[in-house]
A = this chain, B = another copy of it.
Amino acid sequence: MNNHEKYTRYSGAQSVTEALKFLEGRWKLLILFQLFGGQIMRFSELERAIPGITQKMLGQQLKQLEKDGIIKRTAYPEVPPRVEYSLTQWGQDLCPALDALLTWTGKRPR
């Protein structure tokens, strides 16, 4: 099944735009790709794994992704603090869409 019958030109454009808003920004995909495949990572691990990201940006984007239901945050009441991030089911469901985008860029002429 495809979606051609569920959406009009307008609602289709709008829905895709909405989907992209979840992923837009300079850092979100870098964060998500760290978590694909069931990975679980701490704040400081992500910070180290993504060169150039600042704590502010990391915190901000993680908060957004969590609010959007793409990642899950788990805090352990320890000192020093420990917080773990992983994908939600819906976050994992992103894979086919990202795959399709990769396939598309792969087709680019020249």
| A75 CB contacts on chain B under 8 angstroms | none
Let me know if B97 and A101 touch, CB within 8 A. yes
A80 at the interface (CB under 8 A from B): no
Q: How far is the CA of A47 from the CA of B102 in the complex (A)?
A: 31
Of the candidates B10, B29, B93, B103, which one forms a contact with A97 in the assembled complex, judged by CB atoms under 8 Å apart? B103
How many identical chains are in the complex? 2
Of the candidates B36, B69, B101, which one forms a contact with A109 in the assembled complex, judged by CB atoms under 8 Å apart? B69
| A24 CB contacts on chain B under 8 angstroms | 20, 24
Q: Which of A7-37 contact B (CB under 8 A)?
A: 7, 9-10, 12-13, 15-20, 23-24, 26, 29-30, 32-34, 36
Listed in ascending order, the chain A residues whose CB lies under 8 Å from chain B are 2-4, 6-7, 9-10, 12-13, 15-20, 23-24, 26, 29-30, 32-34, 36, 69, 90, 93-94, 96-110
Q: Beyond the given A94-B104, A96-B100, A99-B100, please list 5 additional residue pairs across the A-B interface where CB-CB is below 8 A.
A: A15-B101, A16-B105, A19-B104, A93-B107, A97-B97
